[in-house]
Amino acid sequence: MNISITFKNIPSSDALKSHIEKKLNKLDKMLDSPAEAQIVLSEEKLHSIAEVNLTCNKLKIHARSEAEDNNMYSAIDSLAEKIRTQISKFKEKQRRHLAGDKQSIKDEVLDYEVLD
């Protein structure tokens, strides 16, 4: 996974970079093809903000996470969890589509009202 990290209003830190790489490398194992991630870390007043744009073939994910008390590590952790959730939803949709699962169509009850 190609990772580019941008720091806004905070000094760059090797510890933050390694923490991000560790979290995203776990998520990279879930993906089928190589991915690119652009991460923006910023601080505004008392909030730490982490944003990501992740692209991989047909999958495009944008996620944003905020943490109070200037705790960037917790913002990164919740961001990684959001990305993991979105990847698993995407993979589930693909699996259902490829399996030909039309359960949602079959379960719907069609109500027709006949007007005379």
Q: What is the pLDDT of residues 7-35, one digit of tens each?
A: 999 999 899 999 999 999 998 888 888 89
Judge whether 40 and 64 are in contact, CB under 8 Å.
no
Task: Tell me the domains of the chain and their CATH numbers.
Answer: 2-107 (3.30.160.100)
Read off the DSSP letter of residue 64.
Answer: E
Judge whether 52 and 28 are in contact, CB under 8 Å.
no
Entry pTM: 0.78
Is residue 52's pLDDT more than 70?
yes
- Indicate the average pLDDT of the chain: 85
Read off the DSSP letter of residue 39.
Answer: E
Residue 57 pLDDT grade (very low, low, confident, very high; cuts 50, 70, 90): confident
As beta bridge partners, residue 66 has 49
What phi, psi does 60 have (nearest 5°)?
Answer: -130, 120
Q: What angle do CA 93, 22, 15 make, to 5 degrees?
A: 140
pLDDT-above-70 percentage for the chain: 85
